[in-house]
Structure 1
Amino acid sequence: MTFKIKPVTLKRRSAANKNTRPGKRPNIIVITTDHHSNTALASNGFNRHSPGSDRLANEGVAFTHATTTTEMCGPARCAMQTGMFPNYLGVPNNRWAGKGVKTQLLPPGCGIKTLPDYFKPAGYTCGFVGKLHMSGNPLEYGYDDFSNNNFKGRGKNRYFSSRTYAEYQKLKKVDFAAKPPVIDQTENALRYCHEDECYAMSGRLVNYTREHTYTACNFDEGKRMISCYKKLKNPFVVHINLDLAPHWPYIVPEPYASMYKADDFKPWANFRDPLSKHPLRSKISQNIWRTNDEPWERWAESLAKYYGLCAMVEDEANELLTFLDDENLSENSIVIWTADHGAVNGAHGIFDKDFRMVDEIYRIPLLVRWPMGNLAAGKRSSALVHNADILPTIMELSGISVPETMQCKSFVPALRGEEQMRGEIDFAFWSNGGDPSMLATVRAIRTHDFKYVFNAGDIDEFYDLKKDPAELENVIDEPAYAEEVKNLRKLMHQVLTETDDFCLPFARERLLGCKEKTSSAPLAHYLETPNDFGLRTNCPWHFK
């Protein structure tokens, strides 16, 4: 099968929803989990404990092929707050470039609009709970109120009196001084070691219950914030963002720690990835993590704890939905559950995110429910949507015009039952990194059938996802795929052009097969700002 390429634009105008009038605008509640695999949802075939996502999927729309825009928490969250792609924003990694060099994750006042800039002029109250992972706190980006585990919002918040985790502990009457939280972190815990640091992937037990966790504290603060905003009579946006749930090190309280056994999990098809015809970067990262030689039994023990932690999040989300019922807020509230990125959990022998464009890292949960919104309730959509597409989507559903310059696209058509998102070719675009060695500067385009990966400093990759869903065979040089490779390279060139990607000047020859001379020093403009490690000098805000 070949593609007929036609011009693709990421800058789409989305008209305001004609069925939504001022005064009737919906409330919006967005749950963002941390490091959450799409395999943990019943809508994707998970047949274990998942009451929260089950309910959202049955009463709303579940996107089975939703993806993040990048594998790193901070850049992914910057994209979600702006509706712009991370490579355009100039946010290549989470925070540190090494040797004390700190990157800027979209600093406040940089001139890039975030969610409150669109919703507050429309009469919305905007609140944020938990992990933002940007260069400032949510109040500096226009949110009215903020609560997380350490932030004391009194005197700074506009409407809501937030509580810190320490204050939450006192309410729950937990004396962690007398009862150390972690009572057993098994000696057999799967670990990865890098330089002088060692991290345990699978914890064991903690001697407190679910209600005493950071996760419960975040959900409790979210419910308190919603109750506060309900009294204001204005529509509201409340973001509930979890930190380390279900992110490793998977320290899990009972009954979740014992909910699953290692024997419940069989080896992934790509658990032992030989990395045939793969970039050098993949082999280096596998050696860095030092877990690719571990037996499956140790990985399975870790997975039992991971999915136990997912089950705990499920119960919290389900209680939030019950809370909305009790507050008579369910009918006109859009509830969205997504994640910043996925979880690889041993696929390809990888412990954690490692600059590889594999589905396990990029595919994420995405569920949307709005009882009054005429959505296709109970539908499973295979549309290739991003978590960064959420902002233009909720803007359209709320009757707020989406600017032409916003790169990400509303998926309201998919909520109404359509499948195609971006013209004739439905695709997702992923980006990661920007480092002087170019080993970790990677871009990918995924369609339903194929995946093309542009590796700036090494060989490219191409996978036939129908024949090889485990992504074990790189067929970039196979003659049978030459036409498909050519077409997706052209599409990649269009996307890099529209997102003003810094690597475009030295990617052009490979992507288009042209003889145009590339820069003799393609990294020159990039290295003019070495202290920003990956912030291209022509990025839209370039922090001074």
Structure 2
Amino acid sequence: MKNQPRPNLLIFMPDQMQAQVTFPGHPCKTPNMDKIKETGVSFHFAYPPMAHCCPARASFMTSLYPSQHGIYNNVSNDQAIHRQLNPGIETFSEKLAENGYQMYYAGKWHVSATETPKSRGWTELYLKEQELDNGNRRKAYREMSCERGKRSRKRGEILRPGWGGYTLYGSSDKSYTELNDYICVHKAISQLDRLQDSEAPWCMYIGPNGPHDPFVIPEKYATMYDPDQIELPPNYYDDLQDKPRIYQRMRKVFSQLSEQEVKESIAHYWGYCTLIDDLFGEVLDALVRNRQMDNTLIVVVSDHGEHAGAHGLYCKGISMFDEGYRVPLILSSPKLVKNPGRVVEQFVTLMDIAPTLIELAEAEPLGKTSGRSLVPFLSGETPDNWRDSIYAQCNGTELYYTSRMVKTKKVKFVYNPTDFDELYDLESDPYEMRNMADLPESEALLKEMYVKMWEHAFQSEDMNMVKYIPVTTGEYGPAIVNGKESTTR
């Protein structure tokens, strides 16, 4: 990579796009993402350190775990535990701006409630944020009728007495060009046109809100996939009886949907993914039109996935099933990628992207990182001592549903302090249907995964090591990594 001009950097980050829809042979059409795989490298096992928008995006920007950067859940909630990055935390954008990059931001932010992209070195092209005001929310609840049993449910709707209605999918009255995501992408494209003859390198972030739920999209995309041709997810019939009770309660909410509605919801989700891919195609056209493709590294990644009916669930954030955690990650560049079209099987994380961009920009490294540069993979190399497992932290929604996950290629372990632990053999049970955590024959494996979890917890400065007796519910405590077992048995 030496002796080459510093590349332009284009980051395209759709919200809530599961990796599976971009896999070869998947029925969902993403031709533009498929196209850049031909000049790039795809990472088959890419994960965020937490499957919530704000913590995941903060980790993407800082190369740190939530336990390090301080964004534990939704910063838009005015009662959030922490609404801004910890003092002294830097982002990759500041380093690039200091090193001469022109920085442009269009789309969703969700990194801090007290700062905007401008605070971190970006020029803002388009920003759409939502502030959740609990005062207004409480007022709305006071005026809301509970509605239990008072009206019939509409197609695609989830009735929630006392919470307000929720429509999971449907057709939008807006045309393609009226969508916020279209406006966001075209603000970015307009700036790309202005950069055609720029001599200074640039970095542009484009973050559409789709395919985040609800899946309400223009008719063209809502009818693109025939629900009758869609199969239910292989794990849809999982009764969740051997899994945490919260999963069962979540499933009960979504069980209002008939199997036909589940298929319709999947059709709408796929349609939304194709819509986002079409917008991405317009970005690629702009790069070609402005003769910028050859010297631009394109990064396609999502902040987290979407269950889309897997295990009977939707959305993301609490359960740690693969559909909600695994994300697409593609790095594409005609000049920088050797032997393009490759698929990397090593575990990677959103935290690896910031060090990658900093290295390519020849900028000053961040002071502390939990991620590692992916640049060697562009040349077909695997860095020494690369991780053999992935670690994720779920800090729930404010004070609810915390958990931790460790995943290797063969085993997934989820530590749920207030409920059942989860242990899955991914070779014989790839869809995570059979929880083995309480089986006597799993005791040695369970212990091994506890060791891995606590090792990751130490490395990520995790805060789940409180030793007050009522909350030490894990089978093994942190000292197990030193050979000093602490068990409740």
**TM-score normalized by structure 1?**
0.78
The one of 197, 204, 224 equivalent to 2:190 is 224
Task: Answer yes or no: is the 8 Å Cα contact 1:88–1:500 preserved in 2.
Answer: yes
State yes or no: 1:246 paired with 2:224: no
Q: Deviations over 1:14-59 (max 9, x none)?
A: xxxxx245x8100000000011121221x34324422211111122
Q: Which residue does 2:69 correspond to in 1?
A: 89
Matches within 5 A, 1:135-534: 135=113, 136-149=115-128, 187-191=154-158, 193=160, 195-208=162-175, 210-243=176-209, 245-287=210-252, 290-292=253-255, 294-403=257-366, 405-418=368-381, 423=386, 426-433=388-395, 440-506=401-467, 509-513=476-480, 514=484
Q: CA deviation at 1:91?
A: 1.9
Indicate how the Cα distance of structure 1 residues 96 and 369 shifts in structure 2: closer, same or farther if over 3 A, else same: closer
Deviates most, 273-282 or 449-458: 273-282
**Structure 1: distance between partners of 2:82 and 2:262:** 35
Q: CA deviation at 1:234?
A: 0.9
Task: Answer yes or no: is the 8 Å Cα contact 1:39–1:45 preserved in 2.
Answer: no
Q: CA deviation at 1:215?
A: 1.4
Q: Which residue does 2:82 correspond to in 1?
A: 104
Indicate how the Cα distance of structure 1 residues 278 and 51 shifts in structure 2: closer, same or farther if over 3 A, else same: same
Q: CA deviation at 1:443?
A: 0.9
Name the aligned partner's letter for residue 28 of structure 1.
L
Task: Answer yes or no: is the 8 Å Cα contact 2:54–2:75 preserved in 1.
Answer: yes
Name the aligned partner's letter for residue 320 of structure 2.
M
Deviates most, 77-86 or 373-382: 373-382
Q: CA deviation at 1:397?
A: 2.4
Task: Answer yes or no: is the 8 Å Cα contact 1:35–1:339 preserved in 2.
Answer: yes
The one of 64, 76, 89 equivalent to 2:44 is 64
Q: Deviations over 1:324-353 (max 9, x none)?
A: 111111111000111111010111111222
State yes or no: 1:24 paired with 2:5: yes
Q: Which residue does 2:141 correspond to in 1?
A: none
Identity %: 25
State yes or no: 1:38 paired with 2:19: yes
Q: Which residue does 1:532 correspond to in 2?
A: none
The one of 117, 132, 144 equivalent to 2:94 is 117
Indicate how the Cα distance of structure 1 residues 126 and 421 shifts in structure 2: closer, same or farther if over 3 A, else same: farther
Q: CA deviation at 1:60?
A: 0.8
Q: CA deviation at 1:112?
A: 0.6
Task: Answer yes or no: is the 8 Å Cα contact 1:493–1:511 preserved in 2.
Answer: yes
Q: CA deviation at 1:129?
A: 0.5
Name the aligned partner's letter for residue 392 of structure 2.
W
Where 1:383 maps in the other structure, the secondary structure is strand
**Structure 2: distance between partners of 1:32 and 1:269:** 28
State yes or no: 1:127 paired with 2:108: no
Where 1:95 maps in the other structure, the secondary structure is coil
**Structure 1: distance between partners of 2:49 and 2:69:** 12
Task: Answer yes or no: is the 8 Å Cα contact 1:200–1:249 preserved in 2.
Answer: yes
Where 2:60 maps in the other structure, the secondary structure is helix
Indicate how the Cα distance of structure 1 residues 330 and 496 shifts in structure 2: closer, same or farther if over 3 A, else same: same
**Structure 1: distance between partners of 2:277 and 2:380:** 26
Q: CA deviation at 1:96?
A: 6.1
**Structure 2: distance between partners of 1:118 and 1:401:** 6
Name the aligned partner's letter for residue 212 of structure 2.
H
Q: Deviations over 1:382-440 (max 9, x none)?
A: 221112211111222222353462111112233333467853x5221111116786x51
**Structure 2: distance between partners of 1:451 and 1:420:** 24
**TM-score normalized by structure 2?**
0.86
**Structure 1: distance between partners of 2:97 and 2:31:** 33
Q: Which residue does 1:171 correspond to in 2?
A: none
**Structure 2: distance between partners of 1:376 and 1:192:** 52
Q: CA deviation at 1:458?
A: 2.6
Name the aligned partner's letter for residue 144 of structure 1.
T
Deviates most, 125-134 or 268-277: 268-277
**Structure 1: distance between partners of 2:177 and 2:169:** 21
Where 1:281 maps in the other structure, the secondary structure is helix
**Structure 1: distance between partners of 2:402 and 2:487:** 21
Task: Answer yes or no: is the 8 Å Cα contact 1:130–1:242 preserved in 2.
Answer: yes
Structure 2, unaligned runs of 5 or more: 131-152
Task: Answer yes or no: is the 8 Å Cα contact 2:48–2:304 preserved in 1.
Answer: yes
Name the aligned partner's letter for residue 219 of structure 1.
V
Indicate how the Cα distance of structure 1 residues 51 and 504 shifts in structure 2: closer, same or farther if over 3 A, else same: same
Task: Answer yes or no: is the 8 Å Cα contact 2:80–2:398 preserved in 1.
Answer: no
Structure 1, unaligned runs of 5 or more: 1-18, 152-185, 519-544
Task: Answer yes or no: is the 8 Å Cα contact 1:341–1:363 preserved in 2.
Answer: yes
Indicate how the Cα distance of structure 1 residues 267 and 517 shifts in structure 2: closer, same or farther if over 3 A, else same: closer
**Structure 2: distance between partners of 1:263 and 1:202:** 16
Task: Answer yes or no: is the 8 Å Cα contact 1:291–1:350 preserved in 2.
Answer: yes
The one of 25, 33, 36 equivalent to 1:53 is 33
Q: CA deviation at 1:227?
A: 2.8
Task: Answer yes or no: is the 8 Å Cα contact 2:81–2:398 preserved in 1.
Answer: no
Task: Answer yes or no: is the 8 Å Cα contact 1:278–1:474 preserved in 2.
Answer: yes
Task: Answer yes or no: is the 8 Å Cα contact 2:110–2:129 preserved in 1.
Answer: no
Where 1:117 maps in the other structure, the secondary structure is helix
- Note the aligned Cα RMSD (angstroms): 2.6
Q: CA deviation at 1:297?
A: 0.6
Q: Deviations over 1:240-294 (max 9, x none)?
A: 0112x1112212113212111111211112112222322233233334xx11353
**Structure 1: distance between partners of 2:308 and 2:228:** 16
Q: CA deviation at 1:205?
A: 4.0
Task: Answer yes or no: is the 8 Å Cα contact 2:393–2:404 preserved in 1.
Answer: yes
Where 2:457 maps in the other structure, the secondary structure is helix
